[in-house]
Structure 1
Amino acid sequence: MLKIPENKTRKRFRIAQCVFYALLVFLCSMPFIQGANSQGVFYSYSVLDLISFIGGNADGALGSAFLKYVMFTPILIIIPVVGFFFCALDSQRNMKNIVSLICCAAGIISIIIFAGSALSLGALLSLLIYLLVSFLTTLAIFARFIGDKKENEK
């Protein structure tokens, strides 16, 4: 990829993407799934709670349904971390935008597959932020091809 020096607009998009990816990592500590167990007791678990259940016992049919996905819960943290580091460290190439779109698509798909109908606040906010980041990434791709007005005047 061609290395083009970063202008103000592209830098703002890159910083916004980094902030939103950091927020996505924080949202993993909020309730991600919710439901009721076989005794009718309401529960809500964050991604970090689900990671701690790796190798544990299932409680009822709903618990066993989530237990088969527990091994994949680190993906929900790894995806925004990868997106954050690509956006933070790649300032001149367009690779960060391509990786960001892939991370957004992978994040949305993994949340929908993992949480399904048991979405809680953390998963819902994560979906909305992934959509926002994909929109910002699309704008950043177009900002790469359109220079600053001051540069065009010179």
Structure 2
Amino acid sequence: MLKKPENKTRKRLRITQCILFLAQILFCTFTFVQIPSPNPSKVGFYATVFDMFGYLGGEFPDAAQGAAFSSVLPVFFIFLVIPVVGFFFCALDKERNMKNIVSIICSLLGVFSILTIVSLNFISYGSLLALLCYILISFITAFAMMARLVEDNNTKK
């Protein structure tokens, strides 16, 4: 890919992308999954991504929920891998357009993984904030792609 030195606008957009990818990791500490209990006397199941990692070697509080989530549990690593990959590409790639391409792919994968793994029935505020942040990242990335096409006034002179 063509290397092009970044100007102030592209640098600010890249830093904003990095901050939003770090916010995605923060949203993993919020309640990501909520499953209401059909029995009103029992409390529903609420878990963060890190809570799900805690259940990886142990037992779930309820046997039925444990059976349901034991097959999905290894897939929860994707909620951490996607923002980490996006962050490192945005932080380390300063001159190429690769960070924008990877950022769009990470945003699409993040939205797709939240909607398929968590599903709309069990979505909680952590996954909702993550969805909104992925949409914001995709708009900022599209703006960064357009900012790359515009010539800088300082290089023109």
Per the normalisation by structure 1, the TM-score is 0.92
Q: 2:131 aligns with which of 127, 133, 140?
A: 127
Structure 1 runs not aligned, ≥5 long:
none
Percentage of matched positions with identical amino acids: 46
- Alignment of 1:103 with 2:99, yes or no, is no
Question: Which residue is equivalent to 2:91?
Answer: 88
Contact 1:14 1:87 in 2 (8 A): yes
C-alpha distance in 1 between matches for 2:19 and 2:122: 27
- Alignment of 1:14 with 2:14, yes or no, is yes
Structure 1 residue 57: Cα displacement? 4.0
RMSD: 1.6
Within a 5 Å distance, the mapping from 1:1-154 to structure 2 comes to: 1-37=1-37, 39=39, 40-57=42-59, 59-116=62-119, 117-152=121-156, 154=157
Structure 1 residue 13: Cα displacement? 0.5
Deviations 1:74-101 (A, max 9, x none): 1100100000000000000000000001
Deviations 1:93-120 (A, max 9, x none): 0000000011001111111111111000
Contact 1:100 1:134 in 2 (8 A): yes
Contact 1:31 1:46 in 2 (8 A): yes
Name the count of aligned residue pairs.
Answer: 153
Per the normalisation by structure 2, the TM-score is 0.90
